[in-house]
Structure 1
Amino acid sequence: EDNLYFYCDLLLNSSDDDFGDNESISTSDTCCTGRVCMTETAAELEAVFIPVLYSLALIVGLLGNGLVLAVLCQLRRSWSITDTFILHLLVADTLLLFTLPFWAAEIAQGWSFGTPLCKLMGAIFKVNFYCGIFLLTCISLDRYLSIVHAVQMYSRGKSWKVHASCLGVWLICLLLSIPDWIFLQQLEDERSKTVKCTYNYLAYKTSVKDWQEASRWLYHIVGFIIPSIIMVFCYSSILLRLFRGSQGFKKQRAIRVILVLVLAFFICWTPYNITLIVDTLHANRTLNETCESTIILELLLSATAALGYIHCCLNPILYAFVGGRFRHHLLQMLNSMHLESRDALCICSEQTSFSLKKKCVCF
């Protein structure tokens, strides 16, 4: 993850931006050198708490996303445009869930899965984040044009447009994950004596600071700031139109689910992105850096990243409590499953001439 850096001496102790083969690296008792000792207790607590949290998120997320997928399959003949986007959100969340055991193992005992899996898991994290916010942005634009301007960006008769948009989103997300494929490596930190999956910006003997800042600001601007501005504008316009009473209750209820999903996304991911922006400014010395601020940022990045990971198991819960249509079909599906299992445990007697009805005993 971005909060794991093993080249802090390079960034703190060198006066140059570029580091060549003959560059001397200071090993004095800097903030980074002491950080390992000062956060040892926090690291031990993290090694216990985070794996348990990720395990619970994995179980709840797989069960919840499985139920959503079952309901969507049941409703496949009457899918709305939003349902198609939700299906792709479901795929992105499920992919992220499968990476949680790897991150939990890394926190507990270090990364032992090799560089290829390190690149893959890091790329899946980035693709999921980008995909989630881009798909929510597409839904926001569709709802904005439909409600505010009465323009249908997608039509039921041309569902291929929706799938083409989702495919385009996936391709863009894959392109944005290229830095992870290039720089993520399995590396050993000599100070903490642990192996981590982290970014090696020295791999190509170029400017550490330039590569780090470029990848960070790409993540901040393209992956969070621009989509956030678009969604805030779209939903502000939608809410103003709805409050004026120009739309019916059905449309107001339909927009409620999407609005809750967007709010949940921002609640879960905004703390991580704000902390990451502060850490970016801290790393390039825009903000004053001290040992205390470095330690606090490291802990905050770990905690807010965990909050972001938990988001992938929240959507099914939100569907169940906010989406009336989803809740209705889920209860209907569970009720039919209950009746089928009950009928399977019933023993009925054969119909005779003395009895017009079968007699059944259910267990």
Structure 2
Amino acid sequence: MDVVLDGIFRQNVTYDYDSDYEYKDDLEPKNSEVLIPLLYSVVLIVGLLGNGLVLAALVWKRRFWTISDIFVLHLSVADVLLLVMLPFLAAQSSQTCGWCFKGFVCKITGAAFNINFYCGIFLLLCIGLDRCLSMAHARRLFSQKRPALAHISCLLVWLCSLILSIPDWIFMGARKDPSHEKLLCVHKYAQSQTDWRLKSRLLHHMLGFLLPAAALIICWSCVLLRLQHGLKSLQKVISIKVNLSLVALFFLCWVPYNITLLADTVRSRPGESNDLSVDSEGSIKTALVVTSALGCVHACLRPLLYLGLCANFKKQILGLLRRAAADSERSLWELGVGEDVLHDRRREGEELKQMTGVDHQIPSAQC
């Protein structure tokens, strides 16, 4: 019996697996459709609960508000504004059609994302300037005797944030993603508007991130240097610890996104009309998605930081849960914003009197 194998080995046919099965296009949507909506859902639940407790504690403490309470209120409002927009971002990642809402909702969502960032960094800068002046020059930018200045500063922060978000209100819209053939809520620029894209990016990089971040670093560097050579009271150390934790948390969540966005801006070529977040290279595009999600995570972490570092906030929450009246003249957040230097010295004097009083009472008790 003759076995003929010539027909088998002569057939020289190559099979292109990549043409029939795209690993990259198959796996990336599945991962994003599951992980990002799940992350946004967790951030939404934790963030609303945490910021709800913060706002409830402020309302419960309604007779006497410190300057720190004012700034914490505006920080929480900015976080809640971003949190209520997260369901739209989660729906964009999970639905096959991508962005299935109206264009005006897209503008609001994009603006809320940047307004949260701008308000966060500008409000922290106000706190840092107040602490720097109090440590270096024994003066206060804000005072409990003049709370109107703190309210005006917060309103100016919101106004500046709205002005910096004008490009989002103008250019945000639904645009088809060429890689996955679905609509995404991104910036849209026409051929005649390529200069506006670069101008809006430079406005964000310079006025929204680099200059405020540099000012924050300078302020807290001066505070730390002054603390090493000055009086190290326990109250000041605690307040500086809380403030530095807030600044470090903000930088940890938002610096990766801004560095990625800056790299994306530098990589762009003049004359490109499409938005960078859609037509970017795969690595930069993925990094933008991941780092923007990390920035959204920041909206739920600040209340957890208050709960872990601020003892007065814990007591206020316990009193709130027990429905006990807890009106207090002390700050809940240990930020030390607007506290007068004379008040600190008076408190230190009272503590010294109590210590000396105890020292005099001990010998008499032994006799």
Q: Does 1:162 align with 2:147?
A: no
Judge conservation of contact 1:54–1:104 (CA < 8 Å) in 2: yes
Whole-Å separation in 2 of the counterparts to 1:37 and 1:278: 27
Judge conservation of contact 1:269–1:307 (CA < 8 Å) in 2: yes
Partner of 1:304: helix, strand, or coil?
helix
Give the aligned residue type for 1:54.
Y
Judge conservation of contact 2:78–2:120 (CA < 8 Å) in 1: yes
Judge conservation of contact 1:241–1:247 (CA < 8 Å) in 2: no
Corresponding residue of 2:59: 73
Partner of 1:58: helix, strand, or coil?
helix
Structure 2 unaligned residues grouped into runs of 5+? 1-21, 271-279, 325-367
Alpha-carbon shift at residue 76 of structure 1 (Å): 3.1
Whole-Å separation in 2 of the counterparts to 1:255 and 1:78: 23
Whole-Å separation in 1 of the counterparts to 2:69 and 2:304: 16
Judge conservation of contact 1:187–1:197 (CA < 8 Å) in 2: yes
Alpha-carbon shift at residue 37 of structure 1 (Å): 7.7
Give the 5 Å matches for 1:11-90: 38-90=24-76
Partner of 1:185: helix, strand, or coil?
strand
Higher relative contact order, structure no. (Cα contacts within 8 Å, ≥ 6 residues apart): 2
Whole-Å separation in 1 of the counterparts to 2:322 and 2:177: 54
After superposition, the C-alpha distances for 1:97-135 in whole angstroms (9 at most, x for unaligned) are 001000000111110111111111111111111111111
Give the aligned residue type for 2:303.
P
Whole-Å separation in 2 of the counterparts to 1:242 and 1:76: 33
Alpha-carbon shift at residue 239 of structure 1 (Å): 1.2
Whole-Å separation in 2 of the counterparts to 1:92 and 1:284: 34
Corresponding residue of 1:3: none
Q: Does 1:323 align with 2:310?
A: yes
Question: Is the deviation greater in 182-191 or in 321-330?
Answer: 182-191
Distance 1:229 1:190, change over 3 A: closer
Alpha-carbon shift at residue 43 of structure 1 (Å): 2.5
Alpha-carbon shift at residue 155 of structure 1 (Å): 1.6
After superposition, the C-alpha distances for 1:243-294 in whole angstroms (9 at most, x for unaligned) are 2242421111122211111110000001111111111111138xxxxxxx92
Alpha-carbon shift at residue 331 of structure 1 (Å): 2.6
Whole-Å separation in 2 of the counterparts to 1:104 and 1:147: 44
Corresponding residue of 1:124: 112
Q: Does 1:257 align with 2:242?
A: yes
**Residue number among 91, 103, 108 corresponding to 2:89 in the alignment:** 103
Alpha-carbon shift at residue 177 of structure 1 (Å): 0.8
TM-score norm. by structure 1 comes to 0.77
Give the 5 Å matches for 1:1-363: 38-109=24-95, 110-189=98-177, 191-202=179-190, 205-208=191-194, 210-284=195-269, 294-336=281-323
After superposition, the C-alpha distances for 1:51-105 in whole angstroms (9 at most, x for unaligned) are 0110011000000001111112222333221221110000000000001000000
After superposition, the C-alpha distances for 1:313-335 in whole angstroms (9 at most, x for unaligned) are 00100000011221222233334
After superposition, the C-alpha distances for 1:6-58 in whole angstroms (9 at most, x for unaligned) are xxxxxxxxxxxxxxxxxxxxxxxxxxxxxx98454222201110001100110
Whole-Å separation in 2 of the counterparts to 1:152 and 1:51: 44
Whole-Å separation in 1 of the counterparts to 2:140 and 2:178: 58
Judge conservation of contact 2:25–2:180 (CA < 8 Å) in 1: no
Whole-Å separation in 1 of the counterparts to 2:319 and 2:104: 44
Whole-Å separation in 2 of the counterparts to 1:78 and 1:258: 22
Give the aligned residue type for 1:56.
V
Whole-Å separation in 1 of the counterparts to 2:60 and 2:237: 25
Alpha-carbon shift at residue 190 of structure 1 (Å): 5.0
Partner of 2:120: helix, strand, or coil?
helix
Give the aligned residue type for 1:119.
K
Partner of 2:192: helix, strand, or coil?
coil
Whole-Å separation in 2 of the counterparts to 1:206 and 1:224: 27
Give the aligned residue type for 2:92.
E
Whole-Å separation in 2 of the counterparts to 1:217 and 1:44: 34
Whole-Å separation in 2 of the counterparts to 1:192 and 1:302: 15
Question: Is the deviation greater in 264-273 or in 324-333?
Answer: 324-333
Distance 1:40 1:283, change over 3 A: farther
Whole-Å separation in 1 of the counterparts to 2:234 and 2:166: 44
Partner of 1:173: helix, strand, or coil?
helix
Structure 1 unaligned residues grouped into runs of 5+? 1-35, 286-292, 338-363
TM-score norm. by structure 2 comes to 0.76
After superposition, the C-alpha distances for 1:134-174 in whole angstroms (9 at most, x for unaligned) are 11111110111112211111221221111111111111111
After superposition, the C-alpha distances for 1:284-307 in whole angstroms (9 at most, x for unaligned) are 38xxxxxxx921111111111111
